[in-house]
Amino acid sequence: MSAGACRYELRAQDGDARVGVLHTTRASVPTPAFMPVGTQASVKALTPEEIAATGSRLILANTYHLMLRPGAELIAELGGVQRFMSWPHALLTDSGGFQVFSLSKLREIDDDGVTFRSHLDGSPQRLTPERAMRVQALLGSDIAMVLDECPPGGAPRAEVEAAVKRSTAWAERCLVAPRAEGQACFGIVQGGVLPELRRAHLETLAALDFDGLALGGFSVGEPSERMYELLADLGPRMPGERPRYLMGVGKPVDLLRAVGAGIDLFDCVLPTRNARNGQALSWGGRVNIKQARHRRDESPLDARCGCPVCQGYSRAYLHHLYRAGEILAARLLSQHNLSFYAALMAAAREAIEAGRYADFARQAEAEMAGGDEVGGVTA
């Protein structure tokens, strides 16, 4: 592994679920942990101090968006992304690949990289493994992700195989590219929903000198149960001495199932995006604060939650804020949702250490499904 890069310390295990600490140059992060997504060096609606107050010590920023605006060179000139956004804790940058590959009508891929047009102004852009790593080096994140090709959900086998082959070649190029001092590099396992391809790609990347490994290409249209089956198969096969990261998956039940498979790190826009749409996540399932049932409800969003929102504001007030279009609604619901995710991960760690994770996860999932206001909790 890289000199001065991150290090994983295993503290406890219960079945495949595990508790550890991810040590980076800027922070020690208890795992399993959820990373709030700060796409443009900002977790929408919240200040860095508010994010830290939820318990988060590791967040994600997006390479694609920051390289286009304001530019990685400018951020480097201003001291790196953490100084730029006043976040003193750990930060992971994705490679930008997922955003580029989602621009299906604006990009062309070849074995060297991807040519695409900016979604901002249509200007031509080129992203190669070397440029993805150079941008992340300029940003100065604690953890950089390799450039990979994420095939769309339901892609034919030949297309998935080609993406795996290209992702392997790009991963090898990323691994030897220059990095910022102390910056770790994680590889990304692809393979769609084909278990033999997933296992083979995992084995290939595990043999390389990555500081951690991630599972990419999930939650892109496959049935949830299929994802759970693959996670249960792949999680325990991932190197035990390195951190394990599941990219872009973030429903509470998904996190519970993935923790049970031995995954350590998660990220997703879901808690903050849902907050902006009037949806709170809680131990009792999703709360749709838009609904009229909350108009006179003086109870908190979640009686089990100790966050400042649940301690200080009623559902009636939050309902009013949202219906009135007040920005404060998005801020308070986002703060609560991230606090809930942090509490969910903390409770998972406690259950693993006590040797009762399976019972904890089963009960939590049942309670969330039973009180859900939006439909089945996995919908």
Asked if residue 327 and residue 250 are part of one domain, the reply reads no
Asked if residue 202 and residue 329 are part of one domain, the reply reads no
Asked if residue 356 and residue 242 are part of one domain, the reply reads no
The per-residue pLDDT for 377 is 42
Give the domain CATH number at 250. Answer: 3.20.20.105
Mean pLDDT by 10 residues, the chain (379 residues): 76 98 97 97 98 97 96 98 98 91 83 93 94 98 97 92 97 98 97 97 98 96 95 98 97 98 98 98 97 98 97 98 98 98 98 98 97 65
Asked if residue 237 and residue 305 are part of one domain, the reply reads no
Domain finish residue from 225, 249, 268: 268
Domain finish residue from 228, 244, 268: 268
Asked if residue 279 and residue 203 are part of one domain, the reply reads no
Domain finish residue from 250, 268, 286: 268
Asked if residue 215 and residue 313 are part of one domain, the reply reads no
The per-residue pLDDT for 4 is 56
Helix (H) or strand (E) holding 337: helix 327-353
Asked if residue 263 and residue 140 are part of one domain, the reply reads yes
Quick check: is 2 in a domain? no
The per-residue pLDDT for 319 is 98
What is the rounded distance in angstroms from the CA atom of residue 68 to the CA atom of residue 74? 11
Quick check: is 326 in a domain? yes
Quick check: is 190 in a domain? yes
Q: Determine the 3-state secondary structure of 325 from DSSP.
A: coil
The per-residue pLDDT for 371 is 92
Asked if residue 161 and residue 44 are part of one domain, the reply reads yes
Quick check: is 377 in a domain? no
What is the rounded distance in angstroms from the CA atom of residue 354 to the CA atom of residue 337? 26
In DSSP notation, 262-310 reads: T--EEE-SHHHHHHHTTEEEETTEEEETTSGGGTT--S-S-TT--SHHH
The per-residue pLDDT for 102 is 80
Enumerate the active-site residues. Answer: 94, 267
Domain count, the chain: 2
Asked if residue 163 and residue 37 are part of one domain, the reply reads yes
Asked if residue 108 and residue 224 are part of one domain, the reply reads yes
Residue 205 CA to its chain's centroid (Å): 20
Residue 308: which domain range?
Answer: 274-370
Asked if residue 263 and residue 302 are part of one domain, the reply reads no
Asked if residue 240 and residue 201 are part of one domain, the reply reads yes
Quick check: is 379 in a domain? no
285: left (phi over 0), alpha (psi -120 to 50) or beta: left
Structure-block tokens of residue 47: 């200040």
The per-residue pLDDT for 23 is 98
